Structure 1
Amino acid sequence: MKKLFNIGSIALLTSLVIASCGNADQGKSSEVDHSAHTTEATAETSAPASTPSTTAAATSNTITVESNDQMQFNVSELHVKAGEPVSLTLKHVGKMDKKVMGHNLIVLKSGADVAKFTEEALKAQATDYIPQSSDIVAHTDLIGGGEESKIEFTLDKAGTYDFICSFPGHAGIMKGKIIAE
């Protein structure tokens, strides 16, 4: 009986350790600018990353998306104005290092094959899981806890564009849609 209790205790502790995935702090910041466009900040859309919302409407083209140590974006749907510059900041509000819980945000062209793109991303470790692809509209850097990365891009046509985190194992959960109207 004692042996069964120890095995159960070990299994429970192992589950808790796996769920927590470590705790490394990293305080450096990184910024990427993929466009010469500048945008005045008229409104910023953000919700706490600990409670992801199924939709988040950005009424302007200046957006902040948060990611966390629980493999979540705080939004799954964004609305922007087609043909106007978009300024998007990804903030990793967690504490884990990018080697353990790295996040990026990749905006894909409308109609891109997300599953195929994700497979290619897994092979692109040398470029922080961002493959060479004509399906990419824009992407942030891969960041760890406490870091942020900013991108600027324009979605010329109205439509729906997927966004994902391409860190291994994240794209199935960390994904959403940008609706350009």
Structure 2
Amino acid sequence: MNTRTSFLIAACALVLAACGDKSPDTASVATEPAAAADAAPATETAPAPAPQATDTSASAAATPGSDKPAAVVTDCATEIEGNDLMQFNVGSIAVPASCTEFKITLKHVGKLAAAVMGHNVVIAEASDVQAVNTDGLAAGPDAGYVKPGDARIVAHTELIGGGQATFVSFPVSKIQGDGYEFFCSFPGHAALMKGTITVGK
């Protein structure tokens, strides 16, 4: 019975594909019953949404182990989002080599206040992130959890709460080589809210 159902589903999918229907809904309908019949086909067909990630020019710079897409960069600027689940919506930012200044806009799409679930974007070398966070914690909420005058920080936005937006612009020349990250310095957030930032060659 399971084999017959699988063949029927596969036949329906082929007919729809022949008619030109390439919508993601067809793929999800085809993979859900297959998962019940046999785990292996579901694993093989599940990566169908992958082309969306490869459509972004900076997808190769994604954080190792991150399934988040690369930020979309237009005119030496990008926009990223933070939410109440302590997540950024992107895992990497690739700055074009032709840019001399770069702008990052942060939108907090959640509802919680900055005192409870505040977010910012801080850029520093990956090797300095822990120390920058430790010093930011000591600086406290009035400083936006960023130590004033910290030379290890390339740039940072202010700390914002739900429904707010902020931005920072900085000289691209401040990013020297690979090994830089963007992260949120609100206490405990950097463990989840981080990604890589690179400059094209």
Map 1:30-179 onto structure 2 (within 5 A). 53-60=67-74, 61-82=76-97, 83-108=99-124, 110=125, 112-125=127-140, 126-132=142-148, 133-156=150-173, 157-179=176-198
Q: Which consecutive residues of structure 2, in runs of 5 or more, have no partner in the other structure?
A: 1-57, 59-65
What's the CA shift string for 1:135-169, capped at 9, x where partnerless?
11111110000000011112214434211100111
Q: 1:127 to 1:58 in 2, by over 3 A?
A: same
CA contact (8 A) 1:160 1:180 kept: no
Q: 1:122 to 1:86 in 2, by over 3 A?
A: same
Q: Which consecutive residues of structure 1, in runs of 5 or more, have no partner in the other structure?
A: 1-44, 46-51
The residue type paired with residue 124 of structure 1 is A
Superposition TM-score, scaled by structure 1 size: 0.66
- Please identify the structure whose Cα radius of gyration is greater: 2
CA distance in 2, matches of 1:118, 1:57: 23
TM-superposed deviation, 1:58: 3.3
Partner of 1:24: none
CA distance in 1, matches of 2:81, 2:156: 15
Q: 1:86 to 1:53 in 2, by over 3 A?
A: farther
Higher relative contact order (CA 8 A, sep 6+): 1
The residue type paired with residue 152 of structure 1 is S
CA distance in 2, matches of 1:94, 1:67: 7
Q: CA RMSD in A?
A: 2.0
Count how many residue pairs are aligned between Structure 1 and Structure 2.
130
The residue type paired with residue 181 of structure 2 is D
Superposition TM-score, scaled by structure 2 size: 0.60
Q: 1:111 to 1:164 in 2, by over 3 A?
A: closer
CA distance in 2, matches of 1:170, 1:103: 8
CA distance in 1, matches of 2:71, 2:192: 20
CA distance in 2, matches of 1:111, 1:69: 24
CA distance in 2, matches of 1:73, 1:178: 14
CA contact (8 A) 1:112 1:135 kept: no
